[in-house]
Structure 1
Amino acid sequence: MTDHQRIHPVAVDVEAPPPTRPLVPQGLFTSEKGDPRQRQLPLGDTTAAMPPALKPPKRSNCLCKCLCWTIGLLILLLIIVGAIAGIIYLVFQPKLPKYSVDNLRISDLTLNFDLSLYARFNVRITADNPNKKIGIYYEKGSHLSVWYKNTKLCQGSLPRFYQGHQNRTVLNVGLTGQNQYGRTLLDAMQEEQQTGRIPLDLKIDVPVSIKLGKLKLKKVRILGTCKLIVDSLSTNSFISIKASTCSFGLKI
């Protein structure tokens, strides 16, 4: 073997520093071909570097508390109102006034030249206040009317007055009216007159104010209907009322 073909051992420097770690971390991503130019550094664990997320305010708890407080106040208010109403009922013992039609008189029932029917009725009504501690103010704006079936014959109003405790008041009310279908209406009533039973309705709508002791409350309305059966429609004479049924209610 010639000198230039001999293998000469390489001297190893035992004091040489250990190989340094590669500058690129081991978490490298490489392409399928292993091209280092396409390598990318890993993003690493970014969660540790981010600040802790702020918790949203607990609005739902506030809404629940507000709703509970509102419901509680409403229930308390209802209890208070109920207690006051119960005390008023026990102290004053309120009762609805009663009304009755004593008699009915037809002053005029005339068929005009234009075939309209003019009617004038006089009604006597008894108003009874049965309450021991409640007075009634009859206010302006009352409305009374007499009807034959579904046709209004005449109308009028009650006077303004105050009715005291356990008082009975007799009212004479004049009602007047004119209907354009006079001929047809008069024929129908005369036909009913032959049977001796003519149906008439007295409708009442009266605004009143209630007085509890010295306290005057807001206006309410007394609504009612008296169904009458009379025997005749003769003018200028008292008419016999064969049947009378009245029903009344209070509208707040």
Structure 2
Amino acid sequence: MTDHQRQKIHPMDVEARPHPRTHLVPPGSSISEKGIPVPPPLLHQHAMPTISSSQPKRSCFCRCICCTLTLLFLLLIILAASAGALYLIFKPKLPNYSVDTLRITDLRLNLDLSLYAKFDVKITATNPNKKIGIYYEKGGKLSVLYTNTKLCEGSLPEFYQGHQNKTVLNVPLTGQVQSGRTLMSALQQQQQTGRIPLDLNIHAPVAIKLGRLKLKKVKVLGQCQLVVDSLSSNNLVSIKASNCNFKMKV
């Protein structure tokens, strides 16, 4: 071999020449059985959180509820403080009543065996308050009962009662009870003992006057447990015992 031929022959760079079956593999890829690079699996992109339009509405609603509750709480505090101040200034007391006399005008059986009763009751209504007036409104009632059976009833008059005032009221009561024969017999037997228990109930709708201010109407409810000696007609009954209790209902 001549020198010229030797100069044309170059050593072959085996390492630099790629294998015919070899391919460039990107980072993170794998190679299949056929030697073909397989691209890496795509990473699932996390969805960006979407701000819902309902969140601002919910937040606004919560703020409104909180403001409303706060205002109601403050209003209750103001009302309680005002009521406490009025109580300390006026020192309200319930009116009370006493039964002075009870007269049986009529008590008899009718032809239909109903029991007819007519009483005259004198009571004293007392307003113990120094700074509070009382308006007795329409609809006041006074009734007499025997063993939870109403014998007769009458209306209380409408009037205004001033501070620390006592007012005497004469109230006529009338009533009629069906099947009165049994009741009349029980009353006659009780009369022989000289102690007849009666209940006198008071239902008085009143309005309170504080200074020049007339407040909302309330109800004064009272019950007097009486023990009398007789129920004879046209007779002034002797009241042997009297126990009265009163309460106010809004």
TM-score interval w.r.t. the shorter chain?
0.7 to 0.9
Question: Per the alignment, do residues 29 and 181 of structure 1 end up closer, same or farther by CA in structure 2, a change over 3 Å counting?
Answer: farther
The 5 A counterparts of 1:22-61 are 27=29, 43-47=41-45, 52-54=48-50, 57=55
Among 221, 224, 245, the alignment partner of 2:222 is: 224
Match of 1:83 in 2: 81
The Cα offsets for residues 88-133 of structure 1, whole Å up to 9 and x where unpaired, read as 1122111111100101011110101111100011110100011111
Shift of 1:17: 7.6
Q: What code does the residue aligned with 2:247 have?
A: G
Shift of 1:82: 1.9
- Give yes or no for the alignment of 1:100 onto 2:98: yes
Among 192, 200, 203, the alignment partner of 2:201 is: 203
Q: Whole-Å Cα distance in 1 between the matches of residues 136 and 75 of structure 2? A: 32
Match of 2:107 in 1: 109
Match of 2:5 in 1: none
Match of 2:133 in 1: 135
Shift of 1:190: 0.6
The answer to whether the 8 A contact 2:28-2:40 is kept is no
Q: Whole-Å Cα distance in 2 between the matches of residues 143 and 41 of structure 1? A: 100
Q: Secondary structure at the match of 1:200?
A: strand
Shift of 1:168: 0.6
Q: What code does the residue aligned with 2:149 have?
A: T
Q: What code does the residue aligned with 2:185 have?
A: D
Q: What code does the residue aligned with 1:232 have?
A: S
Cα RMSD (Å): 3.2
**TM-score, normalisation: structure 2:** 0.82
Q: Whole-Å Cα distance in 2 between the matches of residues 101 and 152 of structure 1? A: 18
Shift of 1:51: 5.7
The answer to whether the 8 A contact 2:126-2:167 is kept is yes
The Cα offsets for residues 180-199 of structure 1, whole Å up to 9 and x where unpaired, read as 12110000011000000000
Match of 1:187 in 2: 185
Q: Whole-Å Cα distance in 2 between the matches of residues 29 and 104 of structure 1? A: 119
Deviates more, 1:91-100 or 1:207-216: 91-100
The answer to whether the 8 A contact 2:29-2:38 is kept is no
Question: Per the alignment, do residues 204 and 41 of structure 1 end up closer, same or farther by CA in structure 2, a change over 3 Å counting?
Answer: farther
Q: Whole-Å Cα distance in 1 between the matches of residues 133 and 151 of structure 2? A: 33
**TM-score, normalisation: structure 1:** 0.81
| Identity in percent | 60
Q: Whole-Å Cα distance in 2 between the matches of residues 29 and 203 of structure 1? A: 106
The answer to whether the 8 A contact 2:114-2:176 is kept is yes
Q: What code does the residue aligned with 1:157 have?
A: S
Question: Per the alignment, do residues 141 and 41 of structure 1 end up closer, same or farther by CA in structure 2, a change over 3 Å counting?
Answer: farther
Shift of 1:76: 2.2
Match of 2:4 in 1: none
Shift of 1:72: 3.5
The answer to whether the 8 A contact 1:29-1:42 is kept is no
Unaligned 5+ residue runs, structure 1? 1-10
Question: Per the alignment, do residues 43 and 26 of structure 1 end up closer, same or farther by CA in structure 2, a change over 3 Å counting?
Answer: closer
Q: Whole-Å Cα distance in 1 between the matches of residues 79 and 93 of structure 2? A: 20
Matched pairs, number? 237
Shift of 1:52: 2.7
Match of 1:119 in 2: 117
The answer to whether the 8 A contact 1:228-1:242 is kept is yes
- Give yes or no for the alignment of 1:246 onto 2:248: no
Shift of 1:142: 1.3
